[in-house]
């Protein structure tokens, strides 16, 4: 499983909504989240350390 960087939802790795960014594949729960990410990828592609700080919801 992967995490939607826009809304934080857990998303299947095989989600049809995906974008590559900085050598990684980001997946999204819906086309809306993908559109937001594509517009401002730097805003949503949070570093892993940032995720750790917030704590992961699983």
Q: How far is the CB of 7 from Zn ion (least distance, A)?
A: 3
Size of interface with Zn ion, in residues (CB under 5 A):
6
Q: Does 29 bind Zn ion (CB under 5 A)?
A: yes
**Which of 2, 7, 45, 46 lies at the binding interface for Zn ion (CB under 5 A)?**
7
Q: What's the gap between Cα 53 and its chain centre?
A: 17
List residues binding Zn ion (CB under 5 A).
4, 6-7, 9, 29, 33
């Amino acid at each position: 499983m992967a995490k939607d960087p826009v809304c934080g939802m857990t998303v299947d790795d095989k989600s049809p909504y995906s974008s590559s960014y900085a050598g990684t594949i980001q997946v999204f729960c819906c086309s809306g989240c993908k559109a937001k990410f594509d517009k401002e990828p730097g805003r949503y592609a949070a570093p892993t350390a940032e995720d750790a700080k917030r704590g992961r919801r699983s």
